[in-house]
Amino acid sequence: MQKRAPGSATFQNPIKRPCHETPPNSDLITLLNLSLSLPLSKTSCSRNSSSDSSMEDAYARSVTEVLEAFGVDPTKGLTDFQAVENAKIYGRNVLPQEGSTPFWKLILKQFDDLLVKILIVAAIVSFVLALIDGETGLAAFLEPSVILMILAANAAVGVITETNAEKALEELRAYQADVATVLRNGCLSILPATDLVPGDIVEVGVGCKVPADMRMVEMLSNQLRVDQAILTGESCSVAKELESTLATNAVHQDKTNILFSGTIVVAGRARAIVVGVGSNTAMGSIRDAMLRTGDEATPLKKKLDEFGTFLAKVIAGICVSVWVVNIGHFRDPSHGGFLRGAIHYFKIAVALAVAAIPEGLPAVVTTCLALGTKRMARMNAIVRSLPSVETLGCTTVICSDKTGTLTTNMMSVSKICVVRSPHHGTITTEYTVSGTTYAPEGRIFDAEGIQVEFPAHFPCLLHISMCSALCNESTLQYNPDKGNYDKIGESTEVALRVLAEKVGLPGYDSMPSALNMLSKHERASYCNHYWENQFKKVSLLEFSRDRKMMSVLCSRKQQEIMFSKGAPESIISRCSNILCNDDGSVVPLTTAIRAELESRFHSLAGKETLRCLALALKRMPMGQQTLSFEDERELTFIGLVGMLDPPRKEVRNAIMSCMSAGIRVIVVTGDNKSTAESLCHQIGAFDLEDFSGRSYTASEFEELPAMQQTLALQRMVLFTRVEPSHKKMLVEALQHQNEVVAMTGDGVNDAPALKKADIGIAMGSGTAVAKSASDMVLADDNFASIVVAVAEGRAIYNNTKQFIRYMISSNIGEVVCIFVAAVLGMPETLVPVQLLWVNLVTDGLPATAIGFNKPDSNVMMAKPRKINEAVVTGWLFFRYLVIGAYVGLATIVGYIWWFVYSNNGPKLPYYDLVNFDTCSTRETTYPCSIFGDRHPSTVSMTVLVVVEMFNALNNLSENQSLFTIPPWSNLWLLASIVLTMILHMLILYVEPLSILFSVTPLSWAEWLVVLYLSFPVIIIDEVLKFFSRNSRGARFNFRFRRPDLLPKKEVRDK
């Protein structure tokens, strides 16, 4: 060991004072390794001309080479002058603040949509034309004001969503260390972590958060272990060493001499040299990766955007056509000149644009998704991004973290192996331990599966409990804020403490059930504290890599006993006796027993992939106060314990549900291959005996040729030894194969992949950064909740399709009405304000209520929909053209009926109606002002409203008849229809509103005609649904349809 720095005697354990802060969310910072680089500038090259290249792989260089590259003495550290110079070169150890998008740019971005632009132009044109016609006051501003209010509301939702995404970058800062113990000018001092510079020598110890990326240079204890589970996915802490790493294409797990910024030291003390600060750390790489990852549009948004573009072109074409067709009417005397005639028909074209655009669609989609998120929140799936709800419906692949998602991320003892008696037929016996968390709750079962009532009455179990409690440097405590048990220290040692609690104490018939009467705070370590009070710890031999064991000397009632624990091969080789579980006798360890123990160890560690520890004890001479390595001989073997990070109980059924729903699950982990494969066997859902061709490490996958990588992705169920960059790469590769990918994660390192995935799913116990980068958060960290959310997402999407089709068919009807009236030369049937009312209120309420349609019972038995499946398919497009055409024609017929047949009307000849513009040049029996009467327009508007209420009932199901799914199956829809009709009555019969909307009260005879014209829409759609259920309807195809808008095949409701 290298010489200690002068003055260090006053800092016997300086780390313990400043470094015991608790990380946010009780999570360890995680890092993204895009290469551990140290970009030395030209001014620093005078120190060492090769420093720039050598520091790119600091983990592969010796301690001496790294120290020389920075010109630093490991016993003195940097001088103040060197620190200042390095600060100028490399900057401060902080993540630079990224400039956020200006608020005004966020607002403008929301209006960058073709349909929105058309609406804005329509509002401006409407206002200008109103002024040209001499209109003032409310009449001139009403229509443009309503349009702009709608657009403002939609923009507000978009701005809120985008500002949430930027929070993830800010929350990275919370994971930086606050202080560091630094060696400068030969003295240790505590400095703000932001003052660190490359070349600084930093001392770290138990509980310390690593303040920067650092290369180990000196070990101050027998070992140094760092918990970097969220970074690598490894269930256990990692032992760090001084030796350089020789592995090519080294991943995080291979860089055993690097301390990554933000990880936590759980055992030992050491010194390391800073090789990366600020953006040049692994944490900085995460930030860069998040900045490079753009937000992906959801499948529904893409289809709505495509449909919007198509609709905009159709609208433009129809508007121009209406205006061109009527050029001959520009000079009609009723208009008062060519220019005024052109303006009149231009107003009709604007009205047509307003009619064709479903203004209420964004609001209804948002409302339906919001209602879905409330239901999902009750199922522990908290949605952060509304559009992500429907993405769940077409998810085809779920890439799931192993550690913490499929497993509890809490090391637990699951097996105990002890020697019964050498005289017994079966030399060894096994116990199974239940419980999958750090909670001291669980039972012990014997080899026959029978619960052991009093475990502490068995000699081996009792002494295993003693050894677990005493040969242990960790702490288990209850956290009342989180309502769970937290660990401090090594996870394997905490697992042993929990085992001691499950075994209980001897001498009490009510053990261990009596322990449940204690408070959770007292219960956390009650049995451990009992043994610690019974035995006084005298001396400790720390764990070392060469011995692979640790020992503690304890004194009790003038007896000195040494307890040891460590790797089974090390402990068993030092044992000469065994403790028998049957009668508590101690007998010699024979060759046969040794072979049997080694066989059981290899079975537990190999086939079951458990992490195994052996426990032993030794009586020491009375009065002994110290331990030496020589004392670790002639031990008495107590037993073997096997531990693992256990799978969650619900995971098996959840994965089976995914498979039946056509969703593939890929387990992604940084753990080694055999451990991950063993977990999959334990879960039992994958039904695979052999994982060949389905399980790859990141290195194996990268070495495959491009074609084989493509094939491997299609069969993969396991992806192991991964770094954060591999997760993002996996998401991108799957997306290139047109898969819709959901990625789960809980650490900072998962943020780029969560953001890149079609739907990122963070754990409720995860880091704030992961939550901010995700679309959905699982409040209970349960993989099974994803399956429930997928089912809800599919139901929401089906309902979303229904109301989108409903609104589109309604708008087709409005377009047909205005277009036909213009072509026939009739007066305006509907004015723009009336169209806006219909689109927003009378269409919007039923459309929202359609979102409450009950999901199909087999929603999770169907395969995921194709990502390119259009909202409106070929046959449906035809269906809604037919429905829309009827809606438009019924509206026109209602208008004509009032002029030609109504007893309250003028009973004009049809010729006079279509030549109304020449009225002033002809002798008539009626005044020309009759064409300005509000009755015919009111009849048309009411027909349009009522026919759409009947059409809403058609949308209870895409293909099922109203006889199969009756109207009362969705009471919300019935209520919305009643409310819509009440609102329509208000504008008809309340004086100020009737003037604003250019309507007038209707008589009972007129209402009867409205009903006669409206009801047939149900009969027409029932006939179309019948053909849809018929195979001919399903195969119906259009030669003229747009392939990019309408997919080749329709997915019908069962």
Residues that are catalytic: 401
Torsion of CA 816, 820, 826, 828, to 10 degrees: 20
Return all residues near 566 (Cβ < 8 A) that are at least 6 apart: 543, 547, 548, 549, 550, 613, 614
Closest C-alpha to 951, from 850, 854, 856, 830: 850
The rounded distance, in Å, linking the Cα atoms of 761 and 759 is 6
The rounded distance, in Å, linking the Cα atoms of 294 and 275 is 30
3-state helix, strand, coil in the chain (%, to 5): 50, 15, 35
Residue 925 identity: T
Return all residues near 991 (Cβ < 8 A) that are at least 6 apart: none
Residue 182 identity: V
Angle (CA) 749 246 723, round 5°? 15
CA distances 20 to 181, 190, 192, 264, Å, are 13, 14, 15, 10
The rounded distance, in Å, linking the Cα atoms of 244 and 224 is 16
Residue 558 identity: Q
Closest C-alpha to 368, from 1016, 976, 1048: 976
Handedness of CA 967, 973, 975, 978 (dihedral sign): negative
Q: Are 12 and 220 contacting, i.e. CB atoms less than 8 angstroms apart?
A: no
Element (H, E) at 640: strand 635-644
E strands of 356-492, at which residues?
Answer: 381-383, 397-401, 412-419, 428-433, 444-445, 475-479, 484-488
Closest C-alpha to 358, from 902, 1012, 814: 814
Element (H, E) at 231: helix 229-232
Q: Which residues of 165-191 are buried (b: 16+ CB within 10 A; e: fewer)?
A: beebbebbeebbbebbbbbbbeebeeb
Q: Concatenated DSSP letters for 491-523?
A: HHHHHHHHHHHHH--TT-TTTTGGGGGS-HHHH
Beta strands 759-763 and 776-778 are: parallel
Residue 42: Cβ within 10 Å count: 8
HSE-CB at 266 with a 13 A cutoff on CA atoms is 23
Residue 412 identity: S
The rounded distance, in Å, linking the Cα atoms of 70 and 275 is 9
Q: Are 349 and 321 contacting, i.e. CB atoms less than 8 angstroms apart?
A: no
